[in-house]
Amino acid sequence: MKRKHGVTELVVTDAVISQDAQVGDSVSVDGVCLTVAKREGDKMFFDVSDETQKSSGAGDLRPGAKVNLEPAMAALGRFGGHFVTGHIDGTGTIESKRAAGGGVIEILIQAPPVIQKYIVKKGSIAVDGVSLTVADVWVGGFSIVIIPHTSGVTTLGAKNRGDSVNLETDIIGKYVEKFVAAYSGNSAGGGANLLNKLREEGFTR
């Protein structure tokens, strides 16, 4: 990575994703949505803003580091998982890893409260851009389980205790929070008003 014109240039070499990448395309790099600024053969060039570096692990990348890559899903493409926007909520830290048998690995991740509030057991989360199911949740963290295929084709299998990971929670929870807050208002009785409305509509007893 090198600094230029107020941003940091990130160069990624890849023989698969780069073949179809065009200038202006969006590519997920460790879960961070970046725009292809230039392409030369197998190399893709991205301009990374200071804000992106602060809110993700992009600023910690060093020459030779491996990253997870994924092109943006085409509008007519087959949808087989949860929506990942590439807009990172923040970073977490790997607390521990353990073999769970059959090549399966359980990873425990510490997450800050601002992210933790959107994480639910059996819900979806993207870790370094990899869409995964939350196995369990507790105060201050959560766990995921990765199968041998995921371990082999992403960087998660090589991550170790203390390593930072980019986290993106399910966008549905954020919208629900915003809509409920807007409906209930900020007054002390906002929550009670919402419950009364739900009762009127027959949703609660």
How does residue 74 score in pLDDT terms, banded at 50, 70 and 90? confident
**One-letter identity of residue 6:** G
Mean pLDDT of the chain: 88
How high is the pLDDT of residue 173? 84
Average pLDDT value for residue range 74-82: 74
Q: Predicted confidence band at 195 (pLDDT cuts at 50, 70, 90)?
A: low
The residues spanned by each domain of the chain are 2-71, 90-169, 175-205
15 φ, ψ (degrees, to nearest 5) = -90, -5
Specify the length of the chain in residues. 205
**Structure confidence at residue 180 (pLDDT):** 78
Q: What is the pLDDT of residue 165?
A: 97
Would you say domain 2-71 falls under CATH 3.40.50.2300? Answer: no
CA 101 to chain centroid, in Å, comes to: 26
Helix ranges (H only) for the chain are 17-20, 50-55, 113-116, 148-153, 171-184, 190-200
Higher pLDDT, 201 or 96: 96
Whether the predicted pLDDT of 78 surpasses 80: no
* Separation of alpha carbons 77 and 73, rounded Å: 6
80 CB neighbour count, 10 Å cutoff? 7
CATH number of 90-169: 2.40.30.20
Q: pLDDT at residue 23 above 90? A: yes
CA atoms within 13 A on the CB side of 155: 19
**Is 205 a residue whose pLDDT tops 60?**
no
